[in-house]
Amino acid sequence: MTQRTSHAVEVLAAVLLVAAGSTARAAGGTVAGKVDVTPAKYLAETVVYLKGVPGNPAPRTRDMDQRGMQFVPHLLVITAGDTVKFLNHDSVAHNVYSPDNEGYNLGSFKQGESRTYTFKSPGLYTQLCSIHPEMLGYIFVGDNPHAAAVDAKGRYELANVPPGTYRLAVWNSHLKAPPDKSVTVTDGKTIQENLTLKR
């Protein structure tokens, strides 16, 4: 092996080590656990999220349908900057609006039509239909992508969190949230944090 070839191999190896380190750093850590909610009927309207996580995620587009006179999903979790495409698969016209935060009214649209809205500010947006006042949904907009609705058993998982110390918080449509918890995330590790919500 010539000196030039040997040097090229060393440079390549160094580049691969840096790339591997970057990939490991990108993987981050995980915060997971379970939320106990009382009364249990409010469990499906619960979001667990981290505050203060740095980064600028690429905007995404997510769907919220109107089907069977309901918003589907009932609770959608997105990040500020994301766009929601509101669909209508009912045989009647719907109107989508929210009075919360910057507020919006997308007007009425018929079956097969859609409207879009880009969410600028973090917060909770109640979804309503002025034609059918019984319809109700929620869009939770986080200031970073590390937020999740709990599953049917109250479990949640926030993956690929950059290493650091953050505040773990919970939101529920009807119940008062407990104080935030401080959590320290480490690469490749999972932190278990359980939460309780009750009247």
The C-alpha atoms of residue 181 and residue 187 are separated, in whole angstroms, by: 19
Into how many domains does the chain fold? 2
Give the range among 1-15, 59-73, 77-91, 169-183 with minimum mean pLDDT: 1-15
* Distance from the first to the final alpha carbon of the chain: 74
CB atoms within 10 A of CB 141: 22
For residues 46-63, give the mean pLDDT. 95
Do 63 and 103 lie in one domain? The reply is: yes
What is the CATH number for 100? Answer: 2.60.40.420
Q: Looking at residue 135, what is its pLDDT? A: 97
Range of the domain at 71: 59-143
146 near 140, Cβ under 8 Å?
Answer: no
**3-class DSSP state for residue 174?**
coil
Q: Are strands 136-142 and 75-79 parallel, antiparallel or unpaired?
A: parallel
In a domain, 15, yes or no: no
pLDDT class for 146, splitting at 50, 70, 90? very high
33 near 50, Cβ under 8 Å?
Answer: no
Q: Is the Cα torsion angle 39, 141, 152, 154 positive or negative in sign?
A: negative
pLDDT class for 18, splitting at 50, 70, 90? very low
Q: Looking at residue 131, what is its pLDDT? A: 96
Q: Is the peptide bond before 162 cis (omega within 30 degrees of 0)?
A: no
In a domain, 14, yes or no: no
Do 78 and 115 lie in one domain? The reply is: yes
In a domain, 4, yes or no: no
- Provide the whole-model pTM: 0.84
